[in-house]
Amino acid sequence: MSVRYRILLFVILALAASVFLLPTFAPTPSWWPWQQPIRLGLDLRGGTHLLYAVDIDQAIANGVERQRQDLERELRDTQVGTVTVGRDQLTMRVRLGNRDKRTQVTELIRRRFPHLRLAESANPEGSDLSLSLEPREATRMRDSVVEQALKIIRNRIDQFGVAEPTIQKQGSDQIVVQLPGIQDPQRAKELIGRTAQLEFKLVAQQAGPGVAELPGKGETSGRSTYLVENRTLLTGDAVVNASVRPGSAMEGMAVDFQFDARGAKVFGDITSANIGRQLAIVLDNHVESAPVIRDAITGGRGQITGSFDIAGAQDLANVLRHGALPAPLKLIEERTVGPSLGRDSIHSGSVSFIVGSSLVWIFMAIYYRGGGLITDLGLLLNVLLLLGAYAAFGFTLTLPGIAGMVLTVGMAVDANILILERMREELRVGKSARGAIQAGYERAWSAILDSNVTLFLSGVILFHFGSGPVRGFAVTLCIGIVTTLITSVFATRVVYDWLVTRKRLATLSV
């Protein structure tokens, strides 16, 4: 490629980086093609840091309980006689009213519930069955709990409207949540930690076995507690969508929800079989509302009311839409970084970068003279491209990222020093300016490439295994290596080639 086209290519790169960077440093008009400034991390912008522990054992217990409810429903639908399914920790016990149905029940369990392991009961009459989770299924559930929680928390936070949150796994059972710009974390904590286990149960006529007393929303119903049957008719797993709409003046905002096909059928069967009774809508063991079933509801839709304000209704719709957490979360660490501390960090980081870079630029200009000035031009382009990449790809700049920029300048200088020293050696043996330039770049290239590839691989490893600040440093390191190779080797070479061809350069100032 000719010198003219190479110069044009780097001019285009510099202009593109400037377009991406302008919103970070100055207000831009509405017609400007890029409006997103560089995103700042928690240590620069301020915000909230939360560390949660996931109760994995409780998640497995919840899974066993869901299996128990499904099994009890299946056995009731197949009409095998009186049957109860109880649970003792992670073990289910099936008591049959008719032991002649034992073989039929056993075959149904093997066919419909392959993850349950059947054990012979100690009951001499042989009318009981003991069931437990297959070890492989228990291991799979244990491994997937944290990943499920991560996905659900990400979905909830995305709806919360936080720009560039950090949500990642730490260790085997912990989750780190960083919310830049959030100074009041209470609503975020409530949204994240809400289990959102939605259940539909019938309100009992009177107290007795199989009935529990649950707290209710007394401000709307006039009742502070409800007697509710323990049997869960349907859970929130069947909910596929939820939205907010205005309710009555007394009810405030309401949350509409929609079931999937299976849930719609089950809900229709429940309402048609219980006309005239109250159906309790239970969320996290609190009765949100308990409407009377007037007619069979076959459309697969329902509604929750409870004097919600707009934010509360939106949060409830959010958690219902994205599912319940697979296990409770325990908040074990909370830190809030104020915006003033973030501004101090930006100031300190910027000063360190400017001072460090300026000293390097001055040294290169004094020690290598004309060659040092060309190196300084390449360093300026390097920093411009690095910051432009941050803005263009939406990377989050952190304090360790600023440290990575200082390191990038050092690596770029090192690459140019190798080139300039090789040029000096070639000039000492009597080569012309053109020959010294070509030999200097060719002889330094292998050393520059090897060292930068090694550093790039180190950055990839840091990003893969690191977290938080380590990842911020690794991102800057990897981008900086790419921009260093582009500017230190190719951009500065274009300047030398232009001087040789256009200015008839006879000697080199290095």
pLDDT at residue 220 in the model: 44
* 3-43+339-502 and 57-136 agree in CATH topology: no
pLDDT at residue 82 in the model: 61
pLDDT in tens, 179-236: 887 766 787 888 888 777 788 899 998 888 889 999 886 444 456 789 999 888 888 8
CA quadruple 457, 458, 459, 465: dihedral sign = positive
The single-letter code of the amino acid at 41 is: G
Report phi then psi at 331, rounded to 5. -75, 115
CATH number of 3-43+339-502: 1.20.1640.10
- Ordered by start, the domain boundaries in the chain are 3-43+339-502, 57-136, 199-307
pLDDT in tens, 324-345: 788 888 999 988 877 666 677 7
**Band (368; pLDDT cuts 50, 70, 90):** very high
CA distance 203 to 217: 14
The single-letter code of the amino acid at 395 is: F
Quick one: which of 148, 105, 144 has its CA closest to 126? 105
pLDDT at residue 144 in the model: 85
CB 178 within 8 A of CB 47: yes
**Band (383; pLDDT cuts 50, 70, 90):** very high
Residue 301's beta-bridge partner residues?
A: 258
Q: What percent of the chain is predicted at pLDDT more than 70?
A: 92
CB 386 within 8 A of CB 397: no
Report phi then psi at 233, rounded to 5. -80, -35
211-216 long-range Cβ contacts below 8 angstroms, 24+ apart: 214/280, 214/282, 214/285, 214/286, 214/287, 215/285, 215/286, 215/287, 216/286, 216/287, 216/290
How deeply is 310 buried, as exposed, middle or buried, from its count of CB atoms within 10 A (0-12, 13-18, 19+)?
A: exposed
pTM of the model: 0.61
CB 500 within 8 A of CB 434: yes
Q: How far is CA 8 from CA 216, 485, 491, in A?
A: 71, 18, 11
Segment 285-308 shows an average pLDDT of 81
CA distance 424 to 293: 92
Name the least confident of 69-73, 379-383, 412-416. Answer: 69-73
CATH number of 57-136: 3.30.70
- Domain 199-307 top-level CATH class: alpha beta
